[in-house]
Amino acid sequence: MGDARPIGVFDSGIGGLTVVREIMALLPNESIVYFGDTARVPYGTKSPEVVRAFALQDTRCLMKHDVKMVVAACHTASSVALDDLKGAFPVPVHGVIEPGVRAALEATRNNTIGVIGTRATILTGTYERKLTALRKNVRVESRACPLFVPLVEEGWLDGDITRGTAAIYLDPLKEKGIDTLILGCTHYPLLKSVIRDFFGNGIRLIDSAEETSKTIRETLQSNGMENPARSDPERLFFVSDIPAHFQQVGEQCLGMPLGSVHQVNLEMDEMSRGRNHET
């Protein structure tokens, strides 16, 4: 019994490593293949159609590595493309939105929840819909924070510019009296201490990466899909542009060496896929 194949995880860039970090902590025996679409980051400024097409390509890239499950470790992709991904691949596909929604509803005491995310995620209204579907009288205050992603990709996880940017984005949410804040972008847990300092200890920060890894564990356990091997899980990292910067910031984020990070050419992959379909 069990399944030794790796878990596939994708994001537009570095952010999905926050999910990898939590999977490694909770499921240390699992092998992981990660794809960061660094050539096309950010997704959060793009249209739903474009993000959907990218998410399908990213998943096809992971499927080549014979993954047993796919995690869309990107709220932008999860909010526009999760149903498309679930229908298109023969493995379980997890997003990062629902686990955070459940955790936020459990955490709030005053029924006033803040959500921060990319512009694309906030524009879909996915969080409001899912939160109010589960609890009618919950008040949801949403705010797009588009500059957070480039700050994280640059490795500026603290400092005056990051703190100043956070204050401008988060001040209106503070005024609305939220007691719980969903970090609705996988890049944002890397700014957790800046966000925590801004709000103080009274706020409950919902880290979707932590919540998602619990859901992944449940799926693996209930389907008998855990890795039966007890040692040497493999962690492979792929990106669609030059690996050096991803490697440097990724190691800062995971607090461990990534080994060699490989560059893949998605367009060439897609062209060869097209050729295979013709023959």
Helix (H, G, I), strand (E, B) or coil at 48: helix
Residue with tokens 């367009």: 267
Dist. CA 16–CA 42, nearest whole Å: 13
Q: Check if 61 is active-site.
A: no
- Catalytic position from the list 61, 145, 185, 253: 185
Site for ligand DGL in 37-76 (CB under 6 A): 41-44, 74-76
Q: State which residue, 74 or 182, has the beta carbon closest to ligand DGL.
A: 74
Is 185 noted as a catalytic residue in this protein? yes
99 binds ligand DGL (CB under 6 A): no
Closer residue to ligand DGL in complex, CB, 12/180: 12
Cα–Cα distance, 67 to 71 (Å, whole number): 10
What would the x/- binding string for ligand DGL be over residues 155 to 194, using CB under 6 A?
A: ------------------------------xxx-------
Question: Rule CB under 6 A: is residue 207 a binding residue for ligand DGL?
Answer: no
Q: Which residue's Cβ lies closest to ligand DGL?
A: 44
Give the interface size with ligand DGL as a residue count (CB under 6 A): 17
Q: What would the two tokens of residue 123 be?
A: 């524009």
DSSP letter string, 76-123: HHHHHHHHHHHHHSSS-EE-SSHHHHHHHHHH-SSSEEEEEE-HHHHH
121 interacts with ligand DGL by CB under 6 A: yes
Q: Write the burial class of residue 99 (CB in 10 Å: 0-12 exposed, 13-18 middle, 19+ buried).
A: buried
Tell me how far apart the alpha carbons of residues 160 and 250 are, in angstroms, rounded to a whole number.
22
State the residues that interact with ligand DGL by CB under 6 A.
Answer: 11-13, 15, 41-44, 74-76, 118, 121, 149, 185-187
Q: Which residues are catalytic?
A: 74, 185
